[in-house]
Structure 1
Amino acid sequence: MAVVLQIDFTFPAHMMGDALTQGALQLAHSINEEPGFISKIWTENIRTGKAGGIYVFSEHALAERYATMHSSRVAAMGATDIVVKVFDINTELTDINHGRYQC
């Protein structure tokens, strides 16, 4: 069953916005190749210095595996206060609101 992976972290404001868009293009494409990956919404708030993403993976174990790897990767890029959460999806209610959790 598909799960939502939420990763949030503190990130330098000067590395967000256009800088992040340009600097993470290759990363964005590589995420598409991760096992079990379905989708990602990139998140950032320059005012609070928070960034991260909301992902959908096909199964819990693959989401956890990705979270471990990605946490190390963003830490190497300057992220701190990394928080990882995995949630099951209530598919019945999500369907009502047009949520996409399948390929």
Structure 2
Amino acid sequence: MVTNFEDFEPIFGEAKPEWETASSNPECVPLNPFLFRVFAVDPSHLRFHATDFGSYTWEATRSLHQLEDMRDSIGIGGSWLDFMNYVTSCLRSKDVKLILEWQSKSNGNLALSP
């Protein structure tokens, strides 16, 4: 198993946004393409940024432990290195999708939740 992300090369790309369901977009808000980057914050965390440089920006930080849990929950077998190679290959592909869900907050603000 990999014990850190010291050698992780940043990944930049374009993600095609999609609404999770038709009801996820009750206001019929059009979506622009998103650009993203994934990089190592420190030896044990990856950070994901995605933005359309307009209305929506999303960020998440995931630890080694959280990525191990994700690997287990989606059932990808093989070694940790195989899993990380799969993840980086997917992020470098031309078909990255960002699935969004519309959430209306009580104060009238809107939030996107990937």
TM-score, normalising length from structure 1?
Answer: 0.31
Normalized per residue, the structure richer in helix is: 1
TM-score, normalising length from structure 2?
Answer: 0.29
Higher relative contact order (CA 8 A, sep 6+): 1
Normalized per residue, the structure richer in strand is: 2
